[in-house]
Amino acid sequence: MRPDDSPSGRKRNPIIEEARRAQIIAATIETVATTGYAQASLAQIAQNAEISKSVISYHFSGKDDLLAQVVEQIYEDAWAYIGPRLETETSAAGRLRAYIEANLQYMKTHRNRLLAVMTIVGNLRAADGSMRFPPSSDDSVITLLTEILEDGRRDGEFRDLDPRVVAVTVGQALVGVLGEWAMNPDADLDAYTAELVVLFDHATRNQEPHPCP
């Protein structure tokens, strides 16, 4: 078989294949979010996507591969929403606020994605039984927050804080809020967002008077 041929003998169409993968990922998110991890079989996902199970097997090597790619896709899409909002801010305080707000706003409009990623990350295991996505596997968020906090401290916007310690605290606060909202959909996510913004503004702000020029 030539590399550009499909199992049916037809030449592959990248646009159609990408659309099919997106369809499968969307069905997987819906299935995991509504039925849970154990019940999200390939057969159930195929049924929800209105395709045959063999179509999933053509695009993904198995359930674990599919679930791992779902997580990566959710992370990628979330950053596509968050990144541009950070770029419009010119101050460290503005970027920190934008990061908190954008994270919670994105998940507010994509609740099933939040439920799916939390479920998969908490359950998916590697071949040796270890967590496929351990908390320490992706330090990019903490690195980003640390850089923002370092910039603010250097420029005098923030007090003399420990950037990494505060970065971890911000990250864990967001995890806690989203976990609460996942368990209690009636929780006011906008209120949590506003309180976190105020909380970390006061926690990081430089209270020392700036010297006169």
Map out the domains of the chain as residue ranges: 63-204
Q: What is the pLDDT of residue 137?
A: 59
Q: What is the pLDDT of residue 202?
A: 97
| pLDDT average, residue stretch 174-180 | 96
CA 158 to centroid of chain Cα atoms: 27
| pTM score, whole prediction | 0.86
Tell me the per-residue pLDDT of 52-104, one tens digit each, with 9 for 90 and over.
999 999 999 999 999 999 999 999 999 999 999 999 999 999 999 999 999 99
Q: What is the pLDDT of residue 139?
A: 85
- Measured CA to CA, the distance from residue 209 to residue 213 in angstroms comes to 12
Task: Return the higher-pLDDT residue of 15 and 204.
Answer: 204
Q: What is the pLDDT of residue 136?
A: 64
Q: What is the pLDDT of residue 208?
A: 75
Burial string for 72-94 (b: 16+ CB within 10 Å, else e) reads ebbbeebbeebeebbeeeeebbb
The partner residues of 158 in beta bridges, in order of sequence, read 205
- Spatial CB neighbours of 211, under 8 Å, sequence gap ≥ 6: none
Long-range contacts from 24-27, C-beta under 8 angstroms, 24+ separation: 24/49, 24/51, 24/55, 24/56, 24/59, 24/60, 24/66, 25/66, 25/69, 25/70, 25/73
Average pLDDT of the chain, as a whole number: 91
Q: What is the pLDDT of residue 156?
A: 96
* Confidence band, pLDDT 50/70/90 cuts, at residue 212: very low
What is the residue type of 23? Answer: Q
| Angle at alpha carbon of residue 108, lines to 102 and 114, rounded to 5° | 100
- Measured CA to CA, the distance from residue 70 to residue 26 in angstroms comes to 8
- Measured CA to CA, the distance from residue 44 to residue 173 in angstroms comes to 34
CA 111 to centroid of chain Cα atoms: 11
Q: What is the pLDDT of residue 15?
A: 81
Q: What is the pLDDT of residue 135?
A: 75
Tell me the per-residue pLDDT of 10-51, one tens digit each, with 9 for 90 and over.
566 778 889 999 999 999 999 999 999 999 999 999 999 999
Class of domain 63-204: mainly alpha
